[in-house]
Amino acid sequence: MRFLRLIFVAALAIILIAVALANRDIVTLSAFPANFGQYLGGRWSVDLPLFLVIFLAFALGMLAGLVWEWLREAHIRREARAQADRATRLENEVGHLRHRHAAPKDEVLAILDRPRATTPARPIASAEPAPGTTLPAGR
């Protein structure tokens, strides 16, 4: 992955250098059209190499897109922050409940939580009736 990133950066650098060398002519960049700036006072234009104008336009476009997306996704970040806060609050509550109920104070819960003792094996049923019981007389 690191190698691919290095190749991409090298290719991008070569392309940017080629664009810069091909567009070295000086151009006048004006803030307002057709001498409108003279009515506001001062000089509202600057002379720059064309490649610098191209790179600045690209950088300003990227910055505008970044700000646009950041503003557009603000509600998503807000909702994620609220869900994270809720999850933290619930985890704290579960931890508190575990600590509070570590040793059950209720007798029923104590009986249920106590490990079962091994019960003696039941005797196998036989054909003879148990002592002290009577069976109906046969016909």
- Would you kindly state where each structural domain of the chain is located, as residue ranges? 17-71, 73-107
Element (H, E) at 30: strand 26-30
Partners of 29 in beta bridges = 46
Question: 104: Cβ–Cβ under 8 A, 6 or more apart, which residues?
Answer: 110, 113
pLDDT tens, per residue, the chain with 139 residues: 899 999 999 999 999 899 889 988 999 888 888 777 677 777 788 899 999 999 999 999 999 999 999 999 999 999 999 999 999 999 999 888 887 776 556 677 667 766 666 666 666 666 666 666 666 666 6
Structure confidence at residue 40 (pLDDT): 78
Structure confidence at residue 47 (pLDDT): 93
Phi-psi category of residue 120: left, alpha or beta, with phi > 0 → left and psi -120 to 50 → alpha:
beta
Q: With contact defined as beta carbons under 8 Å apart, do 50 and 23 qualify? A: yes
Give the angle 69-70-71 at the CA atoms, nearest 5°.
90
